[in-house]
Amino acid sequence: MPAFGGHDGGDGEAGRSRAERLSRLADRSGMTLLEVLVVMVIIGLLATLGSVQLMGYLGRAKADTAKLQVQELGTALDLYRIDVGRVPTTEEGLNALLVAPEGADRWAGPYLRKKKALNDPWGRPYRYASPGETAEYDLVSLGADGRPGGEGDDRDVSAADDR
Tell me the pLDDT tens digit for each residue of 2-33: 555 545 555 555 667 877 776 666 656 667 88
Angle, vertex CA 88, rays to CA 131 and CA 115, nearest 5: 125
Q: For 12-108, where are the alpha helices, taking DSSP H only? A: 18-28, 33-84
Answer whether residue 27 is part of any domain. no
Neighbours of 107 (CB within 10 A): 17
Q: What are phi and psi of 45, to 5 degrees?
A: -65, -45
In a domain, 111, yes or no: yes
What CATH number should be reported for the domain holding residue 79?
3.30.700.10
Question: Tens-of-pLDDT digits for all 163 residues of the chain?
Answer: 555 554 555 555 566 787 777 666 665 666 788 888 888 888 888 877 777 666 666 768 888 889 999 999 999 999 999 999 999 999 999 999 999 999 888 999 899 988 888 999 999 999 999 998 888 999 999 988 888 888 877 888 888 776 5
Q: Please state, in angstroms and rounded to a whole number, the distance separating the CA atoms of residues 82 and 75.
A: 11
Burial class (CB in 10 A: 0-12, 13-18, 19+), 100: middle
Is 134 among the domain residues? Answer: yes
- Residue 140 belongs to a domain: yes
Query: Do the domain assignments include residue 20?
Result: no
> Is residue 32, in this structure, part of any structural domain at all?
no
Pairwise CA distance, residues 14 & 4, whole Å: 11
How many structural domains compose the chain? 1
Q: Does residue 149 sit within a domain?
A: yes
Could you tell me if residue 77 is inside a domain? yes
Owning domain of residue 145: 62-162
